[in-house]
Structure 1
Amino acid sequence: MAPQGLQYADADTDASSRASPEDQLRPPRARSPSLSTIAGSMRQKLKALRKKIVQGQTLVPAAEPDGSGNDRSQYLLSSTGLVEPDVMALRFPLLSSRHQGSWDESRIIFNRNRNFLTSSRDKMVSPDRLCTNFQHAIMPRKWPDEELELQREVIKKYEAGVRLWTKEELLAMEDMATGLGGKVCTPLYAGQGEYTVEKEKGYLYKVDFHGYKALAFPLSSRANGTPYSSMTLSKKPAYTHIPTDLDEQEDVFHRWWTIWDTSSIGRHFHACMMRLPFPPYINKIVCIGLGNFVAASADADANANLPTPLQHAILRHAAVLTVADALDRRFGREIRVLAQDPEYTPDCAAVLARRGFAIVGRHGAAGLAEIDDKTFVFAPSPGFCVKEVVADIATPAGMFWGMITTPEEERDRERGKTNGPGVDFGAGVMGYWNPDNTDPDTPRVRLLGNQYGMHPFPYTNLFGDVAIYSLRG
């Protein structure tokens, strides 16, 4: 049976759905259409839309019947878990965006077992349940005067050019997180005194980052009295390390690397890296937050079936090897590959070391300090404000990360699109919850982006809404 694959999709605006001025001036019909007529018309429109989606493929597809008499193109990342077996998520291009070929957040779910399309906005939850699922409440927060004053100080210092991070501070924080117990003291970005925490013995710690938006416009989940510091510490998982068969784990990695390398998405990514205008002096790749792909010893059986998050983590690391291979072929330079993720298990780090990765920043900060002007940054879905940190410390030669948007595009996305569920407030009032962007675009990030050529990469649920950036000149 052919495996299910990831689809790229396109859609044209249905011209028949736009009424002309003459049509708007015509008097209404004396008789309204029946419900059966309306239902029949909707079925025809949905069928036409579905046909347009199928015809909008841009890469070389492998056709597979869908059971309704039509052929639907599918991309062979079959067993990679990039899509659920009975549901396909289709992404549509931003027709009005200045980024041609980029992909927006609107989502339509097609259930293969039925003959209709349904919007993901049909999924509704109550506000109480939503507050339980998310870490913060929906309603805006009324901040006390002292908190508002600190937030104003953050804005003032940021606009004056005071950096939130330096390489020296990143390395110092990594060292403090590495120690086994003791007190950690770091300067505050706003306010008097220092950020101080007493580490408990027997626990491992990682560095958490708080960027400009998190400090100047904090979420309602932020507790009163939390220090306005760009870096803090939190406990990280501790694994009881029971060594597994590293040869077997390396074979698993190689198998998934082969799936990536022979897939249409992998080939397209390799073609992009071979043709885009990168500076020839790149000598290292720093990849941030790509995820752990070897289950902890307590969940060792999970490696037999390799759940989707582990699959995605392997595929992201395989994509890093594609970057290294392309840069080596083009410029003939030895490319070092550095990887940082505090979630790496010991076995995962060992497998990566066998594949040529150097593990840095085991507590989440030192790897960022490795980024310089000869670095290609690979951070498509880091889970924290990587773009903000990089904008403060370096001007890399190239990046593969979330697409940098203008303030207008950011507002349009927040107003008109949603990744989250619908929220039913009762009395027929509906709202849609937008999950927070963990790697936001700030003024400094946009200034950094202005120095690069931006090359959008088609949306996938492996990387998200990303682009490849190459330094101009």
Structure 2
Amino acid sequence: MASRSVFNDASERVFTVQYRAKVADPQMTPDEEREKRAAAYALVQSKYDAGVPFFTKDALRDLARQFQANGGPGGKIAVTGLDGVTVHVPLESGQDYANRPYGDDFACVIAKPLVRYRGIRHLLDKRRIPAGGGVQLYVNSIRETYMPVGVGYSVEVRDAQTNEPVSLLPVAGYDAVKQKLDQTRQSLEASKEFAQIRSTLASVALPSGIGKVVALACSTMAAEINSPERSLAQHALVLLLRDLLSRDGSRPDVEGRGSGPARIQCFAQDPKYLPVDEQVLQENDVAVLDDPGAFLEIDETSVVLSVGPDIPVREIVADIARPAIMIWDKVVEMNQDQTRTDPVTPRVERMIQDYIELPFPPNDKLFGGLAIYVRKSAF
């Protein structure tokens, strides 16, 4: 049976793949800790104000290389912080995860490593969380305050007797997911919403050379977490955008304005994907990438689609590229932004100045409050 990621809370039945490899600080007195923490906050803020990129393709590419080379138990991943100090994070893949939150019949095992992303708000987070014995701990250690990227993991739930991955949620089979995606695609293509998207994109001069669609955090179509209809609709939109912007003659482009290659490439990344998701997407010519592969694909020829991610997608993109088109949560003023996992930050606001904001059809059930951002031709 396909593997699963453990849930934060068994009663909520919500996926989590952001288990965090903690980087601890050395022992110090309370006064030393206050002094060092204040220095860390000041340095991070000064780097941010000076425009130093917190996320770079070189750093992400290096982490991907290390995951491949050192991904087994006993390996270590080298991560360099904003202060220039490199730490070596021991890999925990294959080890038991904490306790057994679902009873003695199920074991939780730490699986493959992932990139742990921390945006500026997370790095400067001064909140404290309760620990055992009433002790209050900061969200980040001092060392982690310097680390926009770190190491996280997916976690598998397994049968305690057979060690086989098991499902704690209903999961649809291949035939059902394939059929649902085909139906969702047909329904969306015939909808007023997609007619509006087509008209909206036809109303502006699109950047030349659009060559790929990159989808981030569209979630699993197979497992019944929250609303699989949202995931199906978002993946259907990926396929329709590809057809709309391609020049292969099989489908109309945006009133003849499509200027990409004969067939636009599609890439998708989400640690929640199950084998069924991957098979269906690959059969629809969508390449499923391991983290951080999708970010490495984003460039000036890309259309980026991301709906309500639990990582700071917009902040990462602001540092690494200026895509041709971005379809994601509408950028609001920072003091109105309540999306903690993918917040609006000063760099996101500056990036958006290079774009024309266009309306996305309102649909809270399937897409939430999105907007379309098209890079200005003069950029």
Q: Same fold (TM over 0.5)?
A: yes
- One of 365, 368, 374 as aligned partner of 1:464: 368
2:348 is aligned to 445
CA contact (8 A) 2:197 2:361 kept: no
Instruction: Map 1:419-438; keep pairs closer than 5 Å.
Output: 436-438=339-341
CA contact (8 A) 1:372 1:395 kept: yes
Q: What is the alpha-carbon distance in structure 2 between the residues aligned to residue 275 and residue 218 of structure 1?
A: 45
> SS where residue 144 of structure 1 aligns?
helix
Q: What is the alpha-carbon distance in structure 1 between the residues aligned to residue 62 and residue 166 of structure 2?
A: 27
2:3 is aligned to none
Instruction: Map 1:280-299; keep pairs closer than 5 Å.
Output: 280-295=208-223
Structure 1 residue 456: deviation in Å? 2.9
Structure 1 residue 341: deviation in Å? 0.8
State the TM-score, normalized to the length of structure 1.
0.58
Greater CA drift, 453-462 or 158-167 = 453-462
Instruction: Say whether 1:151 aligns with 2:41.
Output: yes
Q: What is the alpha-carbon distance in structure 2 between the residues aligned to residue 282 and residue 164 of structure 1?
A: 26
CA contact (8 A) 1:281 1:374 kept: yes
> SS where residue 249 of structure 1 aligns?
helix
Q: As a proportion of its length, which structure holds more helix?
A: 1
> What amino acid does structure 1 have at the position aligned with 2:117?
F
Taking a change above 3 Å as real, the CA distance of residues 346 and 191 of structure 1, as seen in their structure-2 partners, is: same
CA contact (8 A) 2:242 2:264 kept: yes
- One of 315, 323, 334 as aligned partner of 1:410: 334
1:180 is aligned to 72
Larger Rg: 1
> SS where residue 218 of structure 2 aligns?
coil
Instruction: Say whether 1:339 aligns with 2:268.
Output: yes
> What amino acid does structure 2 have at the position aligned with 1:463?
F
Gaps of 5+ in 2: 1-32, 96-110, 130-138, 158-164, 247-252
1:352 is aligned to 281
Deviations 1:271-297 (A, max 9, x none): 3234343113101011111111112xx
2:319 is aligned to 392
Deviations 1:126-162 (A, max 9, x none): xxxxxxxxxxxxxxxxx83321210110011112222
CA contact (8 A) 1:237 1:343 kept: no
Query: Root-mean-square deviation (CA), in Å?
Result: 2.6
Q: What is the alpha-carbon distance in structure 2 between the residues aligned to residue 368 and residue 380 of structure 1?
A: 15
Return structure 1 stretches of 4+ with deviation > 6 angstroms. Answer: 241-244
2:250 is aligned to none
Q: What is the alpha-carbon distance in structure 2 between the residues aligned to residue 394 and residue 291 of structure 1?
A: 23
> SS where residue 200 of structure 1 aligns?
coil
Instruction: Map 1:203-218; keep pairs closer than 5 Å.
Output: 203-218=111-126
Instruction: Say whether 1:309 aligns with 2:233.
Output: no
Instruction: Map 1:129-140; keep pairs closer than 5 Å.
Output: none
CA contact (8 A) 1:241 1:346 kept: no
Q: What is the alpha-carbon distance in structure 2 between the residues aligned to residue 282 and residue 388 of structure 1?
A: 22
1:231 is aligned to 149
Q: What is the alpha-carbon distance in structure 1 between the residues aligned to residue 361 and residue 179 of structure 2?
A: 29
> SS where residue 304 of structure 2 aligns?
strand
Gaps of 5+ in 1: 1-142, 296-301, 415-434
Q: What is the alpha-carbon distance in structure 1 between the residues aligned to residue 84 and residue 187 of structure 2?
A: 52
Taking a change above 3 Å as real, the CA distance of residues 148 and 436 of structure 1, as seen in their structure-2 partners, is: farther
